[in-house]
Every structure is written in structure tokens, then in C-alpha cells.
Chain A
Amino acid sequence: MTWVTGRLLCGWAPVQTSTKKTLAKPNVRNIVVVEGVRIPFLLSGTSYKDLMPHDLARAALSSLLIKTNVPKEVVDYIIFGTVIQEVKTSNVAREAALGAGFSDKTPAHTVTMACISANQAMTTGVGLIASGQSDVIVAGGVELMSDVPIRHSRKMRKMMLDLNKAKTLGQRLSLISKFRLNFLTPELPAVAEFSTSETMGHSADRLAASFAVSRLEQDEYALRSHRLAKKAQDEGLLSDVVPFKVPGKETVTKDNGIRPSSLEQMAKLKPAFVKPYGTVTAANSSFLTDGASAMLIMAEDKALAMGYKPKAYLRDFVYVSQDPKDQLLLGPTYATPKVLEKAGLTLKDIDAFEFHEAFSGQILANFKAMDSDWFAQNYMGRKAKVGSPPLEKFNNWGGSLSLGHPFGATGCRLVMAAANRLRKEGGQFGLVAACAAGGQGHAMIVETYPK
């Protein structure tokens, strides 16, 4: 019945704010974020290191249940993003949901799109609601970099599989006799592009060089991120963080990667990828992170009918993709003007920018690209540049560089940061943007829900 009601109510509900017109469109359902949570993002190899990805996802999901009190039967669908898959739980969304107390009648699937996997989870949910298939969606993401699947070599795998099929002792012995010591060399998952074999850090260093971003600029930007994150943490602004009692360990309550240092300290670090003269270092890159996030998304009418006070609307979004070699991390540059155009906004209309910070160099290169008419004309087929976001509105509560970046989970954090900042700082529109491996990118407009 809920479904039918949802459909019937889904008219255009004009909710005007004092300053600008809302982005609500006639005959399109308004979709809202009711609530979003994340367990603290931790440096990999710390408190979560003995857990499995679905443990983290489960923690986020059950916290969401508790925080929202949503009756589990009303959740129509669960979608999670993840990047480095644990092979035992390849549909991690389902494994986590089952354990988190959701109904076993609620289907769940897992999506992957590199660093914008959680964004993909959210927008998949938006699509389900907008098309009338669902009313209530849980979207989220998870990553556990403390443990990654390290495989036997292909030769070893082949031998083991053949051994399985061998029938006689003779066949087995003959297979075993072909064993060589180098079969034991393991295969590690690389944070490298499959198409170019280049690691992301290396590409980021080249990108920074392409846009002539200096080491100092990168260090300064990273320091800013850490300082702002520290401030936000201290002031209790990171309200999406929920405590997580780690089995057998203490309760984790805070992100542990926020470490404001000094420019002098940072200057001492050696380049991590392009040696010996590169500019990308451990201090101006995001670090390997464990974490999970989850979000309750509903059709506005449904949320209101259930008595919720939504936090924000999810509005227009775009996905973009470009050359994975030389423009790997320029997703935000391509996505920003496109999503603004779609929403009928300009950069000036945006009150809160939340961009994923993969590397300082990547953020600053994107700024320069967005501020370049030449780049817009020659590579994006646009008449003019979109402009660079004003720094005072940009990632004011820290970003991936300082808060951490669990690949599959970051997208929800970005949206929640935008929503919470708009509520706190009093703006109407937020712009979320992120780059992703494969040379892809995403941007979404978040509109604050009127108070």
C-alpha cells in the first residue's frame, strides 16, 4: 500500500526558501536524505584491522537503524558501494544488511565505481525512487584496506585447479612435478589503472606537474584540510560520525587520521611516486582508510508521511568520464559545469562545496583546470571556463586528505558534509564532486531542506 500512496502523493510540492528558487521540478518526485551516518574513518591497520568489510558496513547500517528508528519493513532496497572486494562477501551489501537487523525480505546489491562507488549507490537509489520503483532506500559504502585479497599466482591457481580434477595418483604426481618455486609469488591488488598500469599517485604527480602546481601549494592545501578537520572535530561538527564498539577492542568514536602538522615537517618528506623530484608525498595524499557509511534516502512525501524531518534534497547529478591516462583525476572539472548547467545554477549559487580530496595536487589541478578558458575550450568543448570554487566555501570541515578516504564509503560522507554544512552555515545549495579511477567523475547538487 505504501507504494501506491507514494505514487499518488508524488506531486510537485513547492517549498520556497527565502533567497533562491528551489530546484524542484514539476512531475518529478522530490527525493530527500533523511539521515546519514558513518563509523569513524580509521587509518588502515589500526582498530578495524581484524574485521571484515561487512563488519564495518553492518556497524554503519545498524547505527542508521538506531538513529532513524526506521521500521525495517519499509526499507525497499539496500545498495552499497565498495572497491576492493572481499571475495567471500562479494555482495557485501546483502551480508551486512542481514546481520544489521534489516529484513531478510529487503533485497540488497553492491555497486563498484572506484572512488565514486557510494555516489553510485546513492544515485542508483535516487533512480529507483524517481522512477517510482521504491520509496525508501538505504545507500552506503564500505572499504577495508587493512586486509586486501592477495592471490596465488595464476600458475599456482591453475595447478591447484588442475590438481582438483586429476583422478589418478600418476596425474597428480605429474602435475606436482611441474611445480616451480616462482608459482608461490603472490599477486597483490594494485592501486593502478588497469588500462595504463600507472598508479594513481604517479598520475596525480604528473597531473600536478601538468598544471604547474608546486610542492608548497600542495603541502599548504593539505595542511588546511587537516586544520579544518581538526577544528570541525573539536567543535563537534562531524555529526554524521557514530561510535563503533569494535569486538574485542575499545569503542572507536573519532576519525584518527586528522593530524595537522607544520609546513616544515611536511617539506621534509620525500616524494612517494615520482622519485626523486616529484611533488606528491604521503603528507599531501589521502591515506589508506577503513570505514563505512550509510544513508537513508526517501521520497519526500514518504518521509513527511512517516513524520521525518529531512536534511536535504538530492537534486541533479551527472557522471562524466575522460582520458584515464593524462586526465585520470579531473572528474570534478568535467562534472561541475555540467551539473550546474543541468540545474540552472552558476558557481556563485553554491554555498557549500564538498569535493573529494584524493591528493592536494589533484584538487589544485582541478581548480586550475576549472579556471582555464584554454582547457575548457580545447578539452571540454565548452565556450568558457566554469571558474574555480571560492576557497572559503570549500571543504570547510576537512576532506579526504584529513578525514580519510575509504574508497567505497566516501561518497556518502561528502553528501552528508554538504547537507550538514548547509544547515549549520545557512546556505541553500551544496555541490558534491569527486574523481575516480578509470578517469571518471561525478557531481551532484544537494539542496538544504527548509527548516
Chain B
Amino acid sequence: MVASRAIGCLRRFANASRTLHHCSGYICRNFSRSSALLARSHINYGIKDDVAVIRINSPNSKVNTLNQELQSEFMEVMNEIWASDQVKSAVLISSKPGCFIAGADINMIAACKTPQEVTRLSQEGQKMFEKLENSPKPIVAAISGSCLGGGLELAISCQYRIATRDKKTVLGVPEVLLGILPGAGGTQRLPQMVGVPAAFDMMLTGRNIRADRAKKMGLVDQLVEPLGPGVKPPEERTIEYLEEIAVTFAKGLADKKISLKRSKGLMDKLTSYAMGIPFVRQQVYKKVEEQVRKQTKGLYPAPLKIIDVVKTGLEEGKDAGYLSESQKFGELAMTKESKALIGLYHGQVLCKKNKFGTPQREVKNIAVLGAGLMGAGIAQVSVDKGLKTILKDATLTGLSRGQQQVFKGLNDKVKKKTLTSFERDFIFNNLTGQLDYQSFEKADMVIEAVFEDINLKHKVLKEVEEVIGMHYFSPVDKMQLLEIITTPKTSKDTTASAVAVGLKQGKVIIVVKDGPGFYTTRCLAPMMSEVIRILQEGIGPKKLDSLTTGFGFPVGAATLVDEVGVDVAKHVAEDLGKAFGERFAGGSLELLKQMVSKGFLGRKSGKGFYVYKEGVKSKDLNSDMDSVLAGLQVSPKPEVSSDEDIQYRLVSRFVNEAALCLQEEILATPAEGDIGAVFGLGFPPCLGGPFRFVDLYGAQKIVDRLRRYEAAYGKQFTPCQLLIDQASAGKKFYQ
């Protein structure tokens, strides 16, 4: 039995980094682009009656990626098809059950040195897809599995789309999440296909659209139900069936028995009518732009460019639209933001793998001690993935609250129609609530989310073999990060088990070494100390919030303290202050102490820096805090108190501490540091995490800033050796 401890309850920045949820629109694969041009390795095709069935199946990969090799093979095949008298129509399908085309090859862009090169790539894609769009022989895209980015752009260039109504079948253009735009005609075709508002929504959020929704939007024309077993495995037969149906439709299209005209609903008709009026269009652009500016605070260039490109296409015609698309694509690909976001994407892929190997024994049964917010959250993400879970609490009231939390979490999915009520009940049945330690001996892993009577526990958990730390972030069902903490005594297999469980729970995982505050809390603490100092220097909570969100943090610093809980913040500050001394000083702990004594614990008590009322979204400042702040006021230092300096004082302390964690080998890799900071603490995704930020901003410049602040405040800003070394050697964390 492995006992794990879920530590810390940092209620994290509310929306942080959820943006990066599903950004697999671009897939990175390294291809040996050697001599494989003779035999086709990605595509084969056969002819059924008079329908050419083109099957995509990239070798040695779980996914199909639009790389140059695949593209040229595809065009070769298309040219043959167009030239053939036997063929009247075509079906495009993937032989991989879970993936149609997952996107364009991200490395094609990474290999480019100038915007012009990227623009050229885009133009090649545009030309290829335009040829498909104008194909004299109808092409049916038969979609099963992910159809993202370039994959979707390809699909919408075809004449007809049929998709399996499978949970794995998702359509979307997630380019914006990588700081770029759909660069192969997507910005021009999507508005035509689904209407301007829906197209904006898809391109600006990058969200994945499930097949049934796609059908309603007009993104696909027909749905095919996934099949169960026949005389073959279900996935295999489903693909075969999809192909059969697609062939039928291809024939129908070629014979003109099936019309391409789509019957639109009343709402669609009204929308497209309204969008035909120039004035309305202008209003829509304006509105969307306003919204984007408000949400991105000008920190993300891609969304604005997307709006611009769509606008150009609609107002100035197709040619101008395509040109603008390819140019802006080139520009965006060269931005720091895009590099940061792509870096995060790579990091995320890395942190979704178990580098410790397959555990000797698969964990199937777990037990969670403590049914509080954290414990119940852990239970929820566990039962959801089929882990039999015991949720144990000391009191019936506490247990019931926790069980209700799990139920509500699942029931919300029923309301969103991602689960049926039957599935909810089935999943909820994986949860056993109890007040005693019955059957704990069957648990493969015990996760402790609360401190209980240690003697009792040790009596019960005699068989505990090893202990490992699992630091979840609250709310567990929303926060993707899991920080796993190992000690020198932790075996590799235990770590592998913990990572496997975390991955099953859908987490992005960083594995760090034990030390006060581990990695995430430790980075946050000095920044929080600076937050207090800044407040003491007379910057109000509202101003502070706008400065931090203006830098790219999803939640303002003062609001963050309220969300985390002032008592928790105080506790952390005291503990880590003792452990690290001077470096973690700066703001006066007295502020937090006074707030706690006055009962201003943040959101949970209704008052913190702000006043919180049930059901009221807008929040007012807590006027009772004025006297507290006034009593602790210190005079600001004008030379380091500009808005920008305040932002950098916060961020540089964070970054410096992160670098120190790498220097002290708490962190194994910079990538894990970046993922932990962005997914766990809401470090601005547009900066890519502390390490990426140092690379893009320049280590020397960071060191210089730290020195300047050091001159004003002392040791808290002394740059760590690693940063100094990086700066002097001109080295980067990412090569």
C-alpha cells in the first residue's frame, strides 16, 4: 500500500491556463525525411466501384500529422484521381481509429527563420486546399477521431463531411492557443460554413467541438454512430462502416442524387441575413474586438489578428483574405507569445507521460482520507476514471458534504450533456463513503487529504509501504496540475504508481524533490510577500489587481490572496519564512495576522480585501481594510515604484525562486517548472512560464532588474547563481 499525502490547498487563480486545455492542433513529430519518396508511406488508396478511397495512415505514430511528406503524397494521389476516368468521386479517411488528422506539423513552422518562410508554408497549404475545394469530383471527408487545426481546414475544403458520433471525434481550430491562426484557408472558409459568429467563437477560443454539435452547426453533414463488436473489434468495424457510408454518399454526390445545399434553421437564416448587412458586420467586429481586448489585455496578438483576417476576407474579398491570412500567419509564428505557447504545449505533452515507467502493480483501488474540498475533489477525478475509491471522513456531516460535492461535480456534467444520468450513477457507484477504516487493506494507494489522529491512522495503516507526496490544486476537478513530491527514500516504482494514478485522473504532472513549499508554493511565497509590501506602500488592492492581470496573470494578486484564504496565506508565509529567512521577507506578516484576527479570511468568510456576497459577481473593496493598511503603511521607493517596476518586482521574485529550485534540483527540468507555474499558479501563459520567460526576455535583463531592486530592498532580490550564470554565458534553458 502506498500512502500519499495531498498537501496544500492553494485555491488557485480561477481561470489560469485553462486556455491550454486541448491544444493538440499542432502535433510535433520528427520525420526522417530521407528517401521515402518513392513508396507512399502515409497514404494509400484503392478504388471501390467508381469511388477512390484515400486512406491516411502515418507510419509509427498514433496520430496523422499534416507534414510536408504527407501533403505531397496526398497531392500526388489527388492528381491521379483527377486524371483518372474510372474515378467519379473520392472518400478521404484515416486508418487510425482515434485520429483523422490531428493538425499540421508544428516543426514545419519551428524550422522557419523568417515570417516570409512561414507565409510561404501557409500559401502552399492554401493552394492545395483551394484545389480540393474546386475539385470537379466530389470529395467526402470521413472523420473519426480528432480533426483539428490543419486537419479541419482540410476537411472543410472537401465537398462533404461525415463524422462518427464518438467522444473521441472532435473538431476544432486550436491554433489560437499556440499563438497563431488557422493558416490554410480556415479563417476564410469557416465563416462561410458556420456563419461569422460561430466561426469567431471557434477560432478565438480554439475549443473542441463534438460531432453532434458540429452537425448542428453545419460543420459536418452526416453523423455515423459508433458500432459495437461484430465479427471484428468495434473500432475496426466502425471505421469500415464509416467508409461504406462515405462511399455511398460519394456516389450520391457524383450522381447528383444528394444535394450539397444545406437546409438551414430559422436562426441560421436570420444570422446569415443579418451578417449580410455591412453595418451589422461592423458592429459584430467591434463587439468581438472589444471582448478580445478586454480578455487578453493586449497580451495575446493572435486573437486580434484572427479578427482582422476574417474581416479582410469578408470585406475585401477572397484574394485579400487569403493574402492577409498567410501574412498574419507568418507574423504570428515569429512572436514571443507564440513561442511561449508552443513551448507550453511541448511541456504539457511531456508532463502527460510517465517517465518512471509502468508500475509493477496497476492501482485500481484507492482510499482518500478527508472529505473536504480537496479530498472530495480527488475522489471525484478518481471515480470518474473508474478507480474504486473509498472516501473517509471523521464525521458524517463532513462525509456527506464531500459525497455531495462529488455527486454535484458529476451531475454538472449531466447538465452539460457530457454524461448521461445513468453514467453518472454508474460512476458515482465507484465511491464508497465511510467513517471507519474498513477495507483499507484492499486499497493500493491511500491519499491523505487531511491530518487526522496520527496514532489511530498508524495503527490502521500498519502495512504502509511507502509515502509519497501528491500536491493537488483546488478545485481538483478544474485544476490540471499535480505536483508529486519524492524523497530520497521513495522508490521509482512508487513514483511510477503515483504518476500513473495522476495521469489516470487526467492530470498534468510535475515530479519534484522534497523541500519546504516543494516547487509551486515556494515560488508563490516570495511573490506574495512582495504583494504585501506593495499594498503597504499604498497601492490599493484594485490597482494591484489590474497591474497583475495586466501582466498576464489570470487573477489579480489581491484577489488571489482572498481566493486562497488569508489564513492559508499567513500559514504558508510563516512556515516558509522560517525555512528560508530573509529571502522570503519583504511585506509585513502583520498585515495577514491582523486580517485573520479580524476574520477577513477572504472569499470563504465573505470579507478579505474585498467584500463577497452570495450571488453577487461584482465585488467592492472591504472598507474596514483601510485602517489596517494605513496602520502598516511604509513609504514607497519612487525609483522602483513605476507600474512596470511593480509588475517586475512581483514576477522577478517568482522567477528568481523558480530558478533557485532548478539550481537546487528541487526541479528536474525547466519544462516542469514552466508547466507547474502556469498550470498550478497561473503564471502568465503568454510568457510561457518562468524559464521560458527568462529565455525570451533575456537572462541578463532579468538579472539587471533584480540587481536594481536589490539595491532598493536588499537580499530578497539577489539573483540566484543559476540566473547569473545563464546571463553571463548567454545560455538558454531551452536549446
Which residues of B (178-235) have their CB < 8 Å from a CB of A?
Answer: 222, 225, 227-234
CB distance from B77 to the nearest CB of A (A): 26
Among A206, A276, A375, which residue has its beta carbon within 8 angstroms of that of B225? A206
Q: Is the CB of A368 within 8 A of B231?
A: yes
Chain A min CB distance to B230 (Å) = 4
Q: Is B241 an interface residue (CB 8 A)?
A: yes
On whether the beta carbons of A375 and B229 are closer than 8 Å, the reply is: yes
What is the bound-complex CA distance between A368 and B234, given in angstroms? 15
Q: How many residues of A contact B (CB 8 A)?
A: 27
B245 interface hit (Cβ, 8 Å): yes
A-B contact pairs, 16 of them (CB 8 A): A194-B422, A196-B420, A197-B422, A206-B227, A207-B228, A210-B234, A210-B241, A211-B230, A211-B231, A212-B231, A212-B240, A277-B222, A277-B248, A326-B228, A368-B231, A369-B230
Chain A residues whose CB sits within 8 angstroms of the CB of B230 once the complex forms? 209-212, 365, 368-369, 375
A194-B422, A196-B420, A327-B228 known; A209+B241 contact, CB < 8 A: yes
Residue B137, interface by CB 8 Å = no
A212 to B242, CA, bound (A): 12
Interface string of B236-262 (1 = CB under 8 A from A): 010011000100110000000000000
Q: Which residue in chain B gives the minimum CB-CB distance to A193?
A: B422
- A277 CB contacts on chain B under 8 angstroms: 222, 245, 248-249
Which residues of chain A from 211 to 247 have a CB within 8 Å of any chain B CB?
211-212
Inter-chain CA distance A368–B245, complex, in Å, is 21
Q: Which residue of A lies closest to B248 (CB)?
A: A277
A374 to B233, CA, bound (A): 9
The answer, yes or no, to whether A195 is at the interface (CB within 8 Å) is: yes
Are the C-beta atoms of B225 and A210 separated by less than 8 Å? Answer: no
8 Å CB interface, A184-214 against B? 194-197, 202, 205-207, 209-212
Q: Which of B227, B231, B241, B420 has the most CB of A within 10 A?
A: B231
Residues in A whose Cβ lies below 8 Å from that of B249:
277
Which residue in chain B gives the minimum CB-CB distance to A205? B225
Q: Are A325 and B231 in contact (CB under 8 A)?
A: no
Complex: A375 Cα to B420 Cα, angstroms: 28
> Provided the pairs A277-B222, A326-B234 are in contact, do residues A209 and B422 lie with their beta carbons within 8 angstroms?
no
Residues of A within 8 A of B227 (CB): 206, 209-210, 326
Binary per-residue interface labels of chain A (384-413) against chain B in the complex, 1 for a CB within 8 Å, 0 otherwise: 000000000000000000000000000000
Establish whether residues A378 and B228, one from each chain, have CB atoms under 8 Å apart when the complex forms.
Answer: no
Check B231–A206 contact: CB distance below 8 A: no
Q: Is A274 an interface residue (CB 8 A)?
A: yes
The answer for the CA separation of A378 and B420 in the assembled complex, in Å, is 28
Q: Which residues of A contact B222 (CB under 8 A)?
A: 276-277
Partner of B229, one of A196, A202, A326: A326
- Residues of A contacting B237 with CB < 8 Å? 209-210, 212
Considering only CB atoms, which chain B residue lies closest to A371 in the complex? B231
Q: How far is the CB of B424 from chain A (nearest CB, A)?
A: 12
In the complex, besides A209-B241, A274-B225, A368-B231, 7 extra interface pairs with C-beta distance below 8 angstroms are: A205-B225, A209-B225, A277-B222, A277-B249, A326-B234, A372-B231, A374-B232
The verdict on A195 contacting B422 (CB below 8 Å), with A209-B227, A212-B230 known, is yes
B231 surroundings in chain A (CB, below 8 A) = 211-212, 368-369, 372, 374-375
Nearest CB of chain A from residue B72's CB, rounded to whole Å = 34
**Chain A, Cβ-Cβ closest to B426:** A195
B240's nearest neighbour on chain A, judged by CB, is A212
* Residue tally, chain B, CB below 8 Å to A: 18
B232: A residues at CB distance < 8 A: 374
Smallest beta-carbon distance A370→chain B, Å: 11
Distance (Å) between the CB of B227 and the closest chain A CB?
Answer: 4
The 10 closest A-B pairs by CB, nearest first: A326-B228, A210-B230, A211-B230, A210-B227, A372-B231, A195-B422, A209-B241, A210-B228, A206-B225, A209-B227
Question: Interface residues, chain B, CB within 8 Å of chain A?
Answer: 222, 225, 227-234, 237, 240-241, 245, 248-249, 420, 422
A379 adjacent to chain B (CB < 8 Å): yes
A323 within 8 A of partner (CB):
yes
Which residues of A are found within 8 Å of B233, using beta-carbon distances? 378
Residues of B within 8 A of A211 (CB): 230-231
Given A196-B420, A209-B241, A277-B248, do A379 and B229 touch, yes or no (CB 8 Å)? yes
Contact A327 B229 (CB under 8 A): yes
In the bound assembly, the distance between CA atoms of A196 and B231 in angstroms comes to: 23
Contact mask for chain A residues 321-365; partner B; CB cutoff 8 A; 1 contact, 0 none: 001011100000000000000000000000000000000000001
B316 to chain A, nearest CB (A): 39
A372–B229 Cα distance when bound, in Å, is 12
Q: List the A residue with the shortest CB-CB distance to B228.
A: A326
Cα of A196 to Cα of B227 in the assembled complex, Å: 14
Kindly state the separation between the CA atoms of A242 and B241 in the bound complex, as whole angstroms.
46
When C-beta atoms are compared, the residue in chain B nearest to A213 turns out to be B230
Contact across chains for A378 and B229 when beta carbons are under 8 A apart: yes
**Roughly how many angstroms separate A336 CA and B708 CA in the complex, as a whole number?**
84
- Cα(A279)–Cα(B404), bound, Å: 44
Chain B residue at minimal CB-CB distance from A326: B228
Closest to B420 in A: A197
**Nearest CB in chain B to that of A379: its residue:** B229
Report chain B residues within 8 Å CB of A274: 225
Inter-chain CA distance A179–B420, complex, in Å, is: 28
User: Of all chain A residues, which has the CB nearest B249?
Assistant: A277
Q: Are the C-beta atoms of B422 and A206 separated by less than 8 Å?
A: no
- B229:A325 contact, CB within 8 angstroms: no
Within 8 A of B (CB), among A240-296: 274, 276-277
In the complex the two chains form, what is the Cα distance from A327 to B430 in whole Å?
A: 24
Complex Cα distance A41/B665, Å?
80
Q: How far is the CA of A429 from the CA of B234 in the complex (A)?
A: 36
A365 CB contacts on chain B under 8 angstroms: 230
Whole-angstrom distance between the alpha carbons of A375 and B227 in the complex? 14
* Contact between chains at A210 and B229 (CB < 8 Å): yes
Residue with the greatest number of chain B CB neighbours at <10 A, chosen from A194, A326, A327, A365: A326
B248: chain A residues within 8 A (beta carbon): 277
Among A211, A323, A327, max chain B CB count under 10 A is at: A211
Could you say which residues of chain B place their CB within 8 Å of the CB of A205? 225
Instruction: Find chain B residues with CB under 8 A from A209 CB.
Output: 225, 227, 230, 237, 241
Instruction: Give min CB distance, B415 to chain A, whole Å.
Output: 15
Complex CA–CA separation, A326 to B166 (angstroms): 14
The CA-CA distance from A97 to B229 in the complex, in Å, is: 44
B238 to chain A, nearest CB (A): 8
Task: Please report the C-alpha to C-alpha distance between residue A379 and residue B234 in the assembled complex, in whole angstroms.
Answer: 12
Chain B residues lying within 8 Å of A368, measured Cβ to Cβ, are 230-231
Q: Which of B227, B230, B233, B248 has the most chain A CB within a 10 Å cutoff? A: B230
Task: Identify the interface centre among A197, A205, A210, A277: most chain B CB within 10 Å of its CB.
Answer: A210
Nearest B residue (CB) for A202: B225
CA distance A450 to B225 in the complex (A): 50
CA distance A347 to B228 in the complex (A): 26
Please name all residues of chain B whose beta carbon is closer than 8 Å to the beta carbon of A326 when the two chains form the complex: 227-229, 234
B222, B228, B232, most chain A CB atoms within 10 A: B228
Shortest C-beta distance, B144 to chain A (Å), equals 14
Cα–Cα, bound, A368→B237 (Å):
14
CB–CB A323/B228 < 8 A: yes
A35 vs B627: C-alpha distance when bound (angstroms): 96
Q: Shortest CB–CB separation between residue A143 and chain B, in angstroms?
A: 25
A278 to chain B, nearest CB (A): 9
Residues of B within 8 A of A207 (CB): 228
**Docked pose: A378 CA to B245 CA in angstroms:** 26
- Across the interface, which residues of B come within 8 angstroms of A378, CB to CB? 229, 233
- CB of A358, distance to nearest CB on chain B (Å): 16
Q: What residue in chain B is nearest A365 (Cβ atoms)?
A: B230
Give bound CA distance, A379 to B422, whole Å: 23
The interface centre, meaning the residue of A205, A209, A378 with most chain B CB atoms within 10 A of its CB, is A209
Whose C-beta in chain B lies nearest to the C-beta of A368? B231
- CB-CB < 8 A to A195: which residues of B? 422
Report the bound CA distance from A277 to B246 in whole Å.
10
Residues of A within 8 A of B234 (CB): 210, 326
* A325 nearest CB neighbor, chain B only: B228
A206 to B228: give the CA distance in the assembly, Å.
Answer: 8
Of chain A, the residue at the smallest CB distance from B223 is: A274
